[in-house]
Amino acid sequence: MRDYIIRRVLHAVPTLFAISVFAFIVIQLPPGDFLTTYVANLSASGQVVDEAEVAALREQYGLNQPIYVQYYKWITNFLRGDMGQSFYWNRPVNTLVGERILTTMLISILTLIVTYGLAIPMGILSATRQHTWIDYILTVFGFIGLATPNFLLALILLWIGIQHLGLGGGGLFSPEFLDAPWSLARFWDFLKHVWLPVLIIGTSGIAEIMRVMRATTLDELGKPYVETARSKGLAEGKLVRKYPVRVALNPILSTIGWQLPVIISGSVIVASVLGLPTTGPLLWSALTTQDMFLAASILMILSVLTVVGTLLSDILLAWIDPRIRYSGQEV
């Protein structure tokens, strides 16, 4: 078991390294660099640009050096905690990301909890009440949840919210809490606002997990050990929860870590649409303005979160499944 963990962690390191190289290269791919876009924007708005000044800026930011040198500088700084400077915002990436990373994490984790918290009971309900109207409604919801792109859902719900509910039009905090330090009251205010984005981001996840839970539970319900439990005289509700659900939960929970990247990924667009202060919109604008360090750093951070999430989930799986725990093998 311990060997397994060590092995997985060791695997993660080269992967992250490879990702950093890849991220850096991808960000650099578009021809030109931040300054090219900057100059183009300036020219488009009619301002005159001094060539010498541009060259000086280029020198200053080190944009004229070969790519591997730039990468080396970036990665060594990154590992020391300095993620470089954002050209667009003219502030250190650390500060920009730091402001938003907490919110991003909070939203992602909340979405994860809500997703599984809703999907699992709904899946069980759907399976045990197969072919009843509950099952049909949940199945329909499942289909629609899967089919609707979440950013559209965001738009629609936002529109409904503005038109009919008088919601503030997005944003995560009421005005008085916007820049305040974290406190219980602020957290509560946050929760009041965040339930909508969380639901939107989680919709497709809820739909998918619910369907899988339903299918696996149905599978397990027909197995012999369920009949044995029944023959012992257990009440139906209790035996469903103790036996087939417990077995069906294994594959679902084992992939919990894999849901996290999906959530992080999905939240990027929704956050962009709703204007939430998370890393998503930051990445979007960084990519469109070729704000190199910012974009690469965010991509890197999101990947780290992904890798860590999946690592944790693999370890979790190894821990809860007795078949793996006692045989010491990797499934």
Partner 1 sequence: MDYLVEVKDLHTYFYVVEGEARAVDGASFAIRRGQVLGVVGESGCGKSVTARSILNMVRPPGKIVAGEIIYHRTPEESINLAALPPMGREMRAIRGGEIAMIFQEPRASLSPVHSIGDQVTENILLHQQVSRAEAERRGLEMLRQVGLPKPEQIMRSYPHQLSGGMCQRVMIAMALSCHPRLLIADEPTTALDVTTEAQILELMQALQADYGMSIMFITHNLGVVAEMADEVVVMYLGRVVEKGTVIDIFDNPKHPYTRALLESLPRIEQAKEWLATIPGIVPDPYKVHPGCPFFARCSERMPGVCDTIAPPPVDLGDGHEVRCLLYGGAEEAISPEAIRTSAGD
Partner 2 sequence: MASETQRRIPSPYDEPGVIEFAADEEVLNVLSPRQLMVRRFLKSRLAVLGLVILLVMYTSVIFADFIAPYSPTHRFSKFIHTPPRTIHLFDAEGNWRGPFVYGLEAEVDRVNFQRIFVEDTERIYPIRLFVRGDPYRLWGLIDTDLHLFGVPEVEPEDMGPLYLLGADHFGRDLFSRIVMGGRISLTIGLVGIAISLLIGLVLGGLSGLYGGIVDSVIQRLIEFIRSMPTIPLWMALAAALPPNLPQVQMYFGITIILSFVGWTTLARVIRGKFLQLRSEDFVLAARQAGASELYLIRSHLIPSFMSYILVYLTLAIPGMILGETALSFLGLGLTAPTISWGVLLRDSQDLQAIALHSWILTPALFVVITVLAFNFVGDGLRDAADPYSVREG
Q: Which residues bind partner 2 (CB under 8 A)?
A: 11, 15-16, 18-19, 22-23, 26-27, 29-31, 130-131, 143-144, 146-149, 151-152, 155-156, 158-159, 162-163, 169, 261-262, 264-266, 268-269, 272-273, 283-284, 287-288, 290, 295, 298-299, 302-303, 305-307, 310
- Picked from partner 2, partner 1, none, the partner binding residue 1 (CB below 5 to 8 A depending on kind) is none
Rounded least distance, CB 261 to partner 2, Å: 5
Rounded least distance, CB 233 to partner 1, Å: 4
User: Residue 99 CB: number of other CB atoms within 10 A?
Assistant: 14
Those residues with Cβ within 8 angstroms of residue 307's Cβ, 6 or more apart along the chain or in another chain: 12, 15, 16, 19
- Picked from partner 2, partner 1, none, the partner binding residue 283 (CB below 5 to 8 A depending on kind) is partner 2
Encoded one letter per residue, x for contact with partner 1 by CB under 8 A and - for no contact, window 228-247 reads xxxxxxxxx-----xx--xx
How far is Cα 258 from Cα 254, in angstroms, rounded to an integer? 8
Evaluate whether 216 touches 248 at the Cβ level (below 8 Å). Answer: yes
Rounded least distance, CB 269 to partner 2, Å: 6
Closest residue by Cα to residue 252 from 225, 274, 282, 220: 220
- Picked from partner 2, partner 1, none, the partner binding residue 306 (CB below 5 to 8 A depending on kind) is partner 2
Block residue for tokens 């990702």:
19
Site for partner 1 (CB under 8 A): how many residues? 22
Rounded least distance, CB 305 to partner 2, Å: 8
- Picked from partner 2, partner 1, none, the partner binding residue 331 (CB below 5 to 8 A depending on kind) is none
Closest residue by Cα to residue 152 from 115, 119, 198, 200: 200
How far is Cα 119 from Cα 203, in angstroms, rounded to an integer? 10
Where are the extended beta strands (E) located within 10-89?
85-86
- Picked from partner 2, partner 1, none, the partner binding residue 90 (CB below 5 to 8 A depending on kind) is none
Those residues with Cβ within 8 angstroms of residue 217's Cβ, 6 or more apart along the chain or in another chain: 123, 124, 127, 128, 244, 245, 248
Residue 132 as a binder of partner 1 (CB under 8 A): the answer is: no
- Picked from partner 2, partner 1, none, the partner binding residue 73 (CB below 5 to 8 A depending on kind) is none
Q: Which of residues 207-226 bind partner 1 (CB under 8 A)?
A: 223-225
Rounded least distance, CB 134 to partner 2, Å: 16
- For the chain, the C-alpha Rg in angstroms (whole number) is 24
State both tokens at 107: 């939203």
Rounded least distance, CB 52 to partner 2, Å: 27
Residue 326 as a binder of partner 1 (CB under 8 A): the answer is: yes
Q: What share of the chain is helix, strand, coil (3-state, %, to 5)?
A: 80, 0, 20
* Alpha helices in 130-289, H assignment, sequence order: 133-147, 150-160, 184-221, 224-231, 236-242, 244-254, 256-274, 279-288
Rounded least distance, CB 280 to partner 1, Å: 38
Residue 250 as a binder of partner 1 (CB under 8 A): the answer is: yes
Q: Using CB under 8 A as the criterion, which residues of the chain lie in contact with partner 1 when the complex forms? A: 223-225, 227-236, 242-243, 246-247, 250, 321-323, 326
